[in-house]
Structure 1
């Protein structure tokens, strides 16, 4: 059997990762000033950030069931005997629904997974699926690998303003923060597929420091090695600084990717946003911390 892995453009997986693992991406759309664009093809995150700063209307839309149907048909024609299709939270987009409608008519079995998250918290699970498929795992084992990754993964993020989330209707429980939005810098998370408030601090520097500390706490409590990605929209310096900090602060000295948010998510969170996706690796325990004597060489 040959199982192919499909995701959508909000996983924000680097191009070389997609190519290496043969992962198929179905893009979402972003509309800037009334003009429709395909994420990852004809609109950049920088263009979206500029439009938001200029108060140009920016909206997003899901792929159609027809696009998914065409993708599933093409993969079947290429030899796929099964497909696992992993997508952003159904609480944030109708993408999962479109995939399921197409899956019902697909020429090969298609398992659609609602990741209940977004960005590289989903992307790392997609890669785990592709690695399992490449290793000859059957669909059940691939789904187990995906769900195991998703279950313990999370996203924490800081936004300069809640306004863009409010406009896009994605603010969820974080709407409770709107009344004091001018006085606070919110730390938010994706939990249960929704955006929820975690903490309120007074400055952006404190918000970033708190998020870094929360990541370290999460990793230490989980006891597993992790993959980490720092997402940003039009905040490369801040993202690089956070990534550098995490490489030294987080136990196990993980590799930390810096991945810019794409147009679709960027349209909802706004310029200046930084998000940290943490994905523990099941079965891969954290290495023991060296004792002070080992560190000094005595």
Structure 2
């Protein structure tokens, strides 16, 4: 049987994509009022006030990896997770894999959302085509390195409370009403530039994506937190501005990431090198 690809629920992959590509998804957790909700499995309350989150545990990941390894008939497992700087999930995966031998490989995508999802799909596509463990692992690493993620948050206080503001910590000394354009650099959330309004921030976001992509073919995912209309507008602007785009998909960010980013957030992931959500 082909190599099996495992990821976590921050990859924002739809159930249809997960089923089509045979990907195994380990849920992250939303903790609220004494309850532990598994993202993508349990119904999660709409009101996320006072919510905290947690990554997948070593035990959960070990169980998932062991089952995937058995289903691969020993061909191997490639597990691709969100940035180690945003969650403890990658480190938990490393611990879990240590007890399962060299047939389980762990990849830090240095991203999240479709910045993680695209490497997962490309690794699964390689496995489905008959690629061995080394080939699947290399494809995951290569595509992860080709991804770029930019984010505009509506309010900075969600990032401040969640402790995910990382090397953009200097923002905490400024007005929380500021609309920053953030990006992921080596898996860390970093300030790209400051703006004063959402309109300006989104215009800067579109400019930055156009600058990154240039004339190269690229897949783009526009993510949002309860802001579908705004995301559709950004997607339309990108399609008009960048004729070389091979696909533009719009998808809502899951609850775990949404807790830290807050309503109104728009994120754009670009990935060159032939990545896509299609067959």
Residues of 2 paired with 1:176 and 1:9: CA distance?
30
Instruction: Decide which of 253, 256, 268 is 1:276's aligned counterpart.
Output: 268
Residues of 2 paired with 1:118 and 1:37: CA distance?
20
- Deviation, 1:70, is 1.4
TM-score with structure 1 setting the length: 0.87
Instruction: Decide which of 102, 118, 121 is 1:124's aligned counterpart.
Output: 118
Aligned pairs for 1:1-298 (under 5 A) are 2-44=2-44, 47-48=45-46, 50-51=47-48, 56-81=49-74, 82-106=76-100, 109-182=103-176, 184-220=178-214, 223-281=215-273
What do residues 153-211 of structure 1 show as CA deviations (whole Å, max 9, x unaligned)?
11101001111111111111212112223452100011111100000111101111110
* Structure 1 unpaired stretches of 5+: 285-298
Q: Which runs of 4+ in 1 moved over 3 A?
A: none
- Deviation, 1:107, is 6.6
* Contact 1:34–1:57 under 8 Å retained in 2: no
Change (3 A) 1:229 1:282: closer
* Contact 1:83–1:108 under 8 Å retained in 2: no
Determine helix, strand or coil for the equivalent of 1:255.
strand
* Contact 1:187–1:198 under 8 Å retained in 2: yes
- Between 143-152 and 83-92, the greater mean CA deviation after superposition: 143-152
- Deviation, 1:2, is 2.4
Determine helix, strand or coil for the equivalent of 2:141.
helix
The two structures, once aligned, show a CA RMSD in angstroms of: 1.8
* Contact 1:148–1:282 under 8 Å retained in 2: no
* Contact 1:18–1:24 under 8 Å retained in 2: yes
* Contact 2:181–2:191 under 8 Å retained in 1: yes
- The structure with the larger Rg is 1
Residues of 1 paired with 2:235 and 2:163: CA distance?
30
Determine helix, strand or coil for the equivalent of 2:184.
strand
Residues of 2 paired with 1:283 and 1:20: CA distance?
16
What do residues 212-251 of structure 1 show as CA deviations (whole Å, max 9, x unaligned)?
111111111xx43111111111111101111122122113
What do residues 68-113 of structure 1 show as CA deviations (whole Å, max 9, x unaligned)?
1211222233234200000001111110111111112227710001
* Contact 1:216–1:251 under 8 Å retained in 2: no
* Contact 1:247–1:254 under 8 Å retained in 2: no
* Contact 2:218–2:275 under 8 Å retained in 1: no
* Contact 1:227–1:255 under 8 Å retained in 2: yes
* Contact 2:219–2:245 under 8 Å retained in 1: no
TM-score with structure 2 setting the length: 0.93
Residues of 2 paired with 1:79 and 1:238: CA distance?
42
Determine helix, strand or coil for the equivalent of 2:273.
strand
* Contact 1:212–1:242 under 8 Å retained in 2: yes
Residues of 1 paired with 2:93 and 2:7: CA distance?
10
Change (3 A) 1:165 1:209: same
Residues of 1 paired with 2:69 and 2:134: CA distance?
19
- Deviation, 1:33, is 3.1
* Structure 2 unpaired stretches of 5+: none
